[in-house]
Structure 1
């Protein structure tokens, strides 16, 4: 009888997992247009689930080199300061103008404004993110937010001293246009600092039999048209003819790698989210776990890399 019960339980679990996988695969959020991305972030911002678990910074954390155990939210804040130092922005004076491209709900923008005295403009394709960013920004913090499309920025040429972007690139359908827009709005001598999810350069090592379907899911599940490689995006920046010399790059994969398991761990150690968001919120959050695990697999095996980019705009076009 006990064996019969065990087989029945295993059968039920197997059936449940099969149904879950089918639902996961057939309810993907493939990129179709900028509206797909806007709707994706509008939804996550309105229900508050992502902010509850990930805080004000909808990006990975920096855990040091070599990585050390660190609070998830502290690691995210530390990432911003590490990126500032890596980009040399800590040497810039107060009132430096900064464009934060893909600002989310403004976490990085507020740090740049509050801790470094920069005058920050954050842009995102999501109207709900802009609304929430404004709500979270105290008076006296020089950070403003607006809806704008990184593929066709509304600002004139040479508008900002610094252009800053974290993990926005995978949502851009044309990486060459994205690179051109980032450099275009920089003032002559201005600095571009970008952090992004990147794919291994498949011109050197093509994707193998298991990497192709994994990469397909990483694109389809979170509305990404494509990942650039570190080498490829660096070439695109230089190809704009607006970069002084070469683009500087770095690989922060190891420094950011703990973020993927930490993001899942938040759902386990913060069960109050079950009360706050109910069964529907739990199911919605649970649905993201396979993608987070696939991200950890991809970044842990070298299929994906976390790229850092720094470029200076030429003094004259």
Structure 2
């Protein structure tokens, strides 16, 4: 394991993120460590950013849409049986298991949350091809050039020192290997009120703009190969159908799981997602998938 030169920043930041995910957001959920998101999306823990009204109009299909997003990024990155993939911020390992099962690759999931990793391990996966690591994206516990692909899916916004994390991903990827990235990023039109709203709703203090992200990827030693923008999903079909589907298919279940706080939790989550939808629609937030190659 490579230790960072800056011993001060990593541990505190990792503790903050771990506490966020280890918290008991909602009692009685099937997958410990996933809360409301797991109730809606199973082990995927990322939004179904697909332009499909059938998916957005039926809460039972949201996990299907999320799995297609995982599959889409794997296709973009050209992942196959010869690859070794590190999922940085793997949640409960949904992408780790799916990518390994569908492509034949070996995959490891990295997470600061011990609770989520216990859930991930309990869900199994392709025998001999899936493993999990407890650790921080800013200090990855792996040797140099150990993987052919570093993968980060809808979690990069949580990382305080994003250039440092990208440098770590570059370190553990072999020359010619890939960075596969999925996340929401601000645009240059976003203001401090937008940032404050995101911090309030998602407990993440640091948000990059799209230009800052692309520059940081280049500075880390990657060369952009492909970029796809799914902002139109958030501003379009998601904006039209999320509120009614959520209120019908999920809010009642959240209320039922917690008699004291369920209503408040359901309302707060709805407000959080609606805030992101408003940012998509106003051009102040983008949802990107991209692949870059290690120079």
Above 0.5 in TM-score?
yes
Q: Which runs of 5+ in 2 are unaligned?
A: 1-11, 26-31, 56-60
Structure-2-length-normalised TM-score: 0.82
8 Å Cα contact 2:255-2:262 kept in structure 1: yes
> Residues of 1 paired with 2:34 and 2:179: CA distance?
33
Q: Does 1:301 align with 2:282?
A: yes
Deviations 1:114-140 (A, max 9, x none): 111111100111111101111112462
Q: Does 1:69 align with 2:54?
A: yes
1:199 to partner: Cα distance: 0.3
Residue 171 of structure 1 is aligned with which of 153, 158, 161?
158
> Residues of 1 paired with 2:183 and 2:111: CA distance?
16
SS at match of 1:278: coil
Q: Which residue of 2 aligns with 1:250?
A: 228
Q: Which residue of 2 aligns with 1:269?
A: 249
Of 80-89 and 271-280, more deviation after overlay is shown by: 271-280
Q: Which residue of 2 aligns with 1:28?
A: none
Q: Which residue of 1 aligns with 2:134?
A: 147
User: What pairs with 1:80-159 in structure 2 (closer than 5 Å)?
Assistant: 80-89=70-79, 92=80, 94-138=81-125, 140=127, 142-159=129-146
1:156 to partner: Cα distance: 1.3
Q: Which runs of 5+ in 1 are unaligned?
A: 1-31
8 Å Cα contact 2:195-2:207 kept in structure 1: no
> Residues of 2 paired with 1:252 and 1:103: CA distance?
21
Alpha carbons of structure 1 residues 121 and 263: separation in structure 2 relative to 1, 3 Å: farther
SS at match of 1:191: strand
> Residues of 2 paired with 1:123 and 1:159: CA distance?
14
1:50 to partner: Cα distance: 3.1
Alpha carbons of structure 1 residues 95 and 51: separation in structure 2 relative to 1, 3 Å: same
Alpha carbons of structure 1 residues 95 and 134: separation in structure 2 relative to 1, 3 Å: farther
Alpha carbons of structure 1 residues 83 and 214: separation in structure 2 relative to 1, 3 Å: same
Alpha carbons of structure 1 residues 69 and 238: separation in structure 2 relative to 1, 3 Å: same
SS at match of 1:121: strand
Deviations 1:255-312 (A, max 9, x none): 4554575387335324344334433334323322221111111122111101222111
SS at match of 1:275: helix
Q: CA RMSD in A?
A: 2.3
Aligned length: 269
Alpha carbons of structure 1 residues 138 and 84: separation in structure 2 relative to 1, 3 Å: closer
1:226 to partner: Cα distance: 1.7
SS at match of 2:54: coil
Structure-1-length-normalised TM-score: 0.77
